[in-house]
């Protein structure tokens, strides 16, 4: 049994923790308060995906487009990535190529070669709040287009998921994966039961999660969908890496591109899926916007 070595970065009121395992940003705290949430029972020995933080889902999401793939969410969140030189505001950067996945469970589902680079950056703090940027770059070294699914599966820390409001999805069509039915969002999203929805929107105007005096913002780039997930009480009770009642403490709002809205990386080209997460205090309906 190994214990994963955490990478820790502390600066200017920020505390970030990450692991090479899955290139996984596990925690982001600002002035001591969690913004990106890590389960206290997360498995940190390399034997499983880390519950919480921002799991990187690639090259498929869930069980994949036909529902027949494992491991869940692709095979890059459970392998060790290589640290790369950082640039500008990057705190960490990692690389991984498909060749290194030979022999891993699920490698038989890879549809073509790829080279990945993933970077976590902290933007300068400002009056607007604190901002963290996550950027996945997928390069296709082959002469044929590469079709993949991807998601930045951020677990946002909230006081109570039962009272949050997610703005920015009004009017978006979505698949409710719990019931298997399709709908169109009317107004803000509030959560009252197990929620697992895939919204067909690039969310270019950004998303705001309002929670107990804080505004958490999610600004996707290169996404074609947004996933909103919380397992709620019954499903959470079956998850061994979530303590009892911990499901109150997070809502996943994920920049994604799945199914027929997946990413297409042109021959010898690159595609980017990115997301900027922000936090600020709200008063009297004030909102923040990403810089």
Ligand X SMILES: O=P(O)(O)OC[C@H]1O[C@H](O)[C@H](O)[C@@H](O)[C@@H]1O
Binding site for ligand X (CB under 6 A): 49, 55, 62, 72-73, 153, 177, 196, 227, 229, 252
Q: CB 226 → ligand X: shortest distance, Å?
A: 11
Q: CB 62 → ligand X: shortest distance, Å?
A: 5
Q: Classify residue 256 by burial, with Cβ atoms within 10 Å: 0-12, 13-18, 19+.
A: buried
Of the candidates 23, 14, 10, the residue with the CA atom closest to the CA atom of residue 49? 23
Biggest alpha carbon distance in the chain?
55
**Closer residue to ligand X, CB minimum distance, 130 or 203:** 203
CB 79 within 8 A of CB 96: yes
* Cα 67 to Cα 46: distance, rounded to the nearest angstrom: 25
Catalytic one among 85, 111, 254, 286?
254
* Cα 51 to Cα 42: distance, rounded to the nearest angstrom: 5
* Cα 252 to Cα 91: distance, rounded to the nearest angstrom: 23
Q: CB 49 → ligand X: shortest distance, Å?
A: 6
**Closer residue to ligand X, CB minimum distance, 227 or 257:** 227
* Cα 12 to Cα 278: distance, rounded to the nearest angstrom: 15
Q: Cα–Cα distances in Å, from 19 out to 90, 233, 284, 287?
A: 15, 28, 38, 32
Q: CB 17 → ligand X: shortest distance, Å?
A: 18
**Closer residue to ligand X, CB minimum distance, 179 or 266:** 179
Could you tell me the two tokens for 258? 């799945």
**Closer residue to ligand X, CB minimum distance, 157 or 252:** 252
- Annotation says 9 is catalytic: no
Q: CB 146 → ligand X: shortest distance, Å?
A: 23
Could you tell me the two tokens for 191? 């959560």
**Closer residue to ligand X, CB minimum distance, 210 or 256:** 256
Could you tell me the two tokens for 46? 């390399």
- Annotation says 85 is catalytic: no
Q: CB 156 → ligand X: shortest distance, Å?
A: 12
Helices (H), 156-269: 232-237
CB 230 within 8 A of CB 190: no
The sign of the CA dihedral 193, 197, 199, 200 is negative
Catalytic one among 153, 167, 248, 286?
153
Cis status of the peptide bond prior to 59, with omega within 30 of 0: yes
**Closer residue to ligand X, CB minimum distance, 30 or 209:** 209
> Which residue is nearest to ligand X, using beta carbons?
229
Hey, which residues are catalytic here? 153, 254
């Amino acid at each position: 049994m190994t214990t994963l070595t955490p990478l820790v970065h502390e600066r200017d009121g920020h505390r970030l923790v990450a692991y090479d395992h899955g290139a996984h940003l596990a925690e982001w705290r600002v002035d001591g308060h969690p913004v990106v949430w890590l389960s206290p029972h997360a498995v940190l020995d390399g034997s499983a995906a880390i519950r919480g933080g921002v799991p990187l889902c690639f090259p498929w999401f869930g069980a994949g487009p036909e529902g027949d793939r494992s491991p869940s969410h692709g095979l890059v969140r459970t392998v060790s990535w290589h640290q790369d030189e950082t640039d500008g505001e990057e705190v960490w950067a990692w690389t991984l190529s498909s060749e290194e996945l030979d022999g891993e469970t699920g490698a038989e589902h890879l549809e073509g070669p790829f080279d990945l680079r993933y970077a976590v950056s902290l933007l300068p703090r400002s009056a607007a709040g604190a901002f963290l940027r996550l950027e996945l770059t997928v390069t296709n070294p082959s002469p044929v287009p590469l079709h993949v699914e991807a998601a930045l599966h951020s677990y946002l820390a909230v006081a109570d998921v039962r009272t949050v409001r997610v703005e920015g999805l009004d009017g978006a069509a979505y698949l409710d994966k719990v019931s298997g039915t399709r709908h169109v969002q009317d107004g803000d999203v509030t959560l009252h039961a197990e929620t697992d929805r895939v919204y067909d929107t690039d969310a270019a105007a950004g998303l705001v999660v309002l929670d107990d005096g804080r505004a958490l913002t999610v600004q996707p780039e290169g996404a074609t969908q947004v996933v909103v997930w919380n397992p709620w009480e019954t499903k959470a009770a079956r998850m061994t890496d979530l303590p009892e009642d911990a499901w109150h403490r997070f809502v996943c709002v994920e920049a994604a591109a799945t199914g027929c809205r997946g990413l297409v990386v042109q021959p010898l080209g690159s595609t980017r899926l990115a997301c900027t997460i922000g936090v600020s205090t709200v008063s009297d309906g004030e909102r923040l916007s990403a810089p």
